Chains A and B, each alone.
Chain A
Amino acid sequence: MTEQSQWLSQQIDQLAAQQEKFTDRAFWLALKQVVAEQDRRSEQLGGEVDGRTWRPDRW
């Protein structure tokens, strides 16, 4: 997890904790999971771009 993701995750946790309504809290915490998933997907896609670009046979 990047520093920015960690910071964002804390921000969402704090915001969620301040919500009185259970369903509102649920929304923010679920959003946190999607953001974490975005991070993972970005990293994987970035890795795939690197892997496909690194083609010594085409040098």
Chain B
Amino acid sequence: MTTLVLVSHPQLADSTSQQFLKESLPDDDIIWEHIESLSSLDVAQEQAQLRRADRIILQFPLYWYAAPAGLKQWEDTVLTRTFVYGDHRYPLADKELGIVVTTGMPRQAFQRGGAEGVTLDAALAPLAALAHRAQMRWLPVFPIYQFGYLEEPEKLQLVVDYQRYLTQPQPDSLANRQDWFAQRLDGMVARLAEDQRTTGRLIASVFEQNREQIDQLHDTLAMIKEQDDD
């Protein structure tokens, strides 16, 4: 799966959250682009990139309940009517559109009655409408509230949650989560120092046993339910 991450931020180098996310990028097939760094927008190249990707991520800080102006300019230039739907070819159809949005306010601000009085889903409605028009699949938004206040355990969690948002098949079920980790476990064990590999392999084997046990329990339950129906 190819994931295209389009980052919009007017001062990327000054943003600790964006630098953190860049450092957290997984080793998978990821194309990363910072919109404001492009000296000019090569429409054909941008559109080709969109065609290549299976999952497209728009990543930005929330400025007045919307993406920064750079992203809007990119949309208005690259997403021409003919490209998105005009010729009825729908080149973006069935691709997934995900939004990674950072906010300066906490989670509870983004609800009715909260300090912002609007949910993120409501604020990002224009992008969801775009996904709908392009026949794309809209992913649940990935919000990062008040990055500056996150403690180390939360940041550690954010690394993997972000990686999974970029590369893990949806929906975010236990089965899909298990598959995601299973695909990476061998590689992660191989990265361990030699004296740690036995522990790593042991952890991997317990993980695998647990996975099989859950599968078996599902099978047993399905059998019981089938008998109950008879």
Q: Point out residues on A near B: beta carbons under 8 Å.
A: 4, 8, 11-12, 14-15, 18-19, 22-31, 34-35, 37-39, 41-42, 45-46, 48-49, 52-53
Of B7-15, B36-44, B119-127, B176-184, the one contacting chain A is B176-184
Smallest beta-carbon distance B28→chain A, Å: 13
Shortest distance between the CB of B213 and any CB in chain A (Å): 6
A52 contacts B225, C-beta separation under 8 Å: yes
Cβ of A5 to closest chain B Cβ, rounded Å: 9
Q: How far is the CB of A59 from chain B (nearest CB, A)?
A: 15
**With A15-B199, A30-B160 given, is the CB distance from A52 to B228 under 8 Å?**
yes
Answer whether A26 and B214 are a contact pair too, CB < 8 Å, given A12-B203, A52-B225: no
CB interface residues, B 195-210, toward A, < 8 Å: 196, 199-200, 202-203, 206-207, 210
Instruction: Write the chain B residue with the least CB distance to A38.
Output: B210
Docked complex Cα distance between A12 and B206 (Å): 11
In the complex the two chains form, is B188's CB within 8 Å of A28's CB? yes
Q: Are A26 and B159 in touch, CB under 8 angstroms?
A: yes
Interface residue tally of chain B, by bracket?
35 or more
Report the Cα distance A31→B111, complex, angstroms: 32
Complex formed: what's the CA distance from A33 to B141 in Å? 22
Q: Smallest Cβ distance from B180 to chain A, in angstroms?
A: 9
Q: Are B224 and A53 in contact (CB under 8 A)?
A: yes
**Which residues from B are CB-within-8-Å of A27?**
159-160, 184, 188
Q: Which residue in chain A gives the minimum CB-CB distance to B204?
A: A31
Closest to A40 in B: B174
- Which chain A positions have C-beta within 8 A of B220? 49
Q: B221's contact among A29, A34, A38, A52, by CB below 8 Å, is which? A: A52
How far apart are A53's CB and chain B's nearest CB, in angstroms?
7
Measured in the bound complex, the distance between the Cα atoms of B157 and A48 in whole Å is: 31
Q: Which residues of A contact B174 (CB under 8 A)?
A: 34, 37-38, 41
Q: Which of B93-142 contact A (CB under 8 A)?
A: none
- Whether the Cβ atoms of A22 and B156 lie closer than 8 Å is yes
